[in-house]
């Protein structure tokens, strides 16, 4: 249905709980990074090795390729159902690109505004040093950009397969946590980034749904359904 509200009580609850968890994680930032710095556990090394799964190009390039490929395809050769399927894939590819790109751009603005020192500067500044309006890698810890990307991707998957919401949330948080294992971020950076990306993806989907584009709002549900596909619980 068109119209309706972009923001919901469920989103408010999710954001409040997420920020509370990020605040709690902030209390452990120094201890966790101190432990990771001295740990020789193979598992931490393995987590650090897969941290690039949070790089946005893994998701932006395929989404753009599908969007352009379907957009330039000859739809006239497809039947009615085929065109409906192409329209759905085209719309979801465009949405996926925007859902990753938009928070990815915004989070880089936030990084500059906060200017939090990364764990690489832990010995010089500790875990809670902020230098607002600072540019450069060393002062771009908060929020985590990789975690923002992972949160957005998790949000996209939740929208497509809402029955697996908790699975995608758990898997996404695990991938995001590799940023701590690689000593690129503090736990609170990761939690905040993941929440930011997830929220942006859901809000974008609901924004489109209020205009009858790509998604359709569902009464009493935070996740809109994909237009052209039966609603999933």
The residue segments making up the domain with residue 153 are 9-37+55-226
The answer as to whether 4 is a domain residue is: no
Instruction: Identify the residue whose tokens are 């192409």.
Output: 86
Give a yes or no: residue 48 inside a domain.
no
**181 occurs within a structural domain:** yes
In a domain, 1, yes or no: no
pTM for this prediction:
0.95
Distance CA 189, CA 177 (A): 10
What's the rounded Cα separation, in Å, for the pair 158 and 140? 28
Can you give the pLDDT of all 233 residues of the chain as single tens digits?
A: 566 899 999 999 999 999 999 999 999 999 999 999 999 999 999 999 999 999 999 999 999 999 999 999 999 888 889 999 999 999 999 999 999 999 999 999 999 999 999 999 999 999 999 999 999 999 999 999 999 999 999 999 999 999 999 999 999 999 999 999 999 999 999 999 999 999 999 999 999 999 999 999 999 999 999 998 754 44
Total domain count, the chain: 1
Residue 233 lies in a domain: no
Instruction: Return the half-sphere exposure (C-beta side, CA atoms, 13 A cut-off) of residue 167.
Output: 8
Q: Residue 162: inside a domain, yes or no?
A: yes
Structure tokens at 13: 């609850």
Residue 50 forms part of a structural domain: no
Residue 44 lies in a domain: no
Q: What distance in Å separates the CA atoms of residue 206 and residue 225, rounded to the nearest whole number? A: 9
């Amino acid at each position: 249905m068109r119209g309706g509200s972009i923001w919901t009580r469920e989103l408010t609850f999710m954001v409040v709980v997420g920020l509370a968890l990020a605040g709690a994680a902030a209390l452990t930032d120094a201890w966790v990074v101190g432990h990771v710095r001295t740990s020789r556990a193979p598992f931490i090394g393995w987590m650090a090795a897969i941290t690039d799964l949070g790089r946005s190009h893994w998701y932006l390039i395929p989404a753009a390729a599908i969007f352009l490929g379907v957009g330039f395809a000859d739809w006239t050769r497809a039947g009615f159902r085929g065109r409906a399927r192409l329209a759905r894939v085209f719309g979801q590819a465009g949405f996926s690109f925007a859902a990753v790109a938009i928070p990815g751009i915004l989070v880089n603005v936030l990084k500059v505004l906060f200017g939090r020192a990364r764990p690489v500067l832990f010995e010089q500044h500790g875990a809670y040093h902020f230098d607002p309006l600072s540019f450069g890698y060393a002062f771009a810890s908060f929020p985590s950009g990789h975690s923002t990307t992972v949160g957005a991707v998790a949000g996209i998957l939740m929208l497509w397969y809402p029955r697996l919401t908790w699975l995608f949330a758990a898997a996404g948080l695990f991938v995001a946590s590799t940023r701590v294992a690689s000593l690129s971020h503090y736990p609170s950076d990761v939690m905040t980034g993941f929440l930011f990306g997830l929220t942006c993806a859901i809000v974008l989907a609901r924004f489109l749904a209020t205009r009858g584009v790509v998604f359709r709002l569902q009464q009493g549900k935070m996740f809109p359904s994909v237009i052209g596909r039966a609603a999933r619980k």
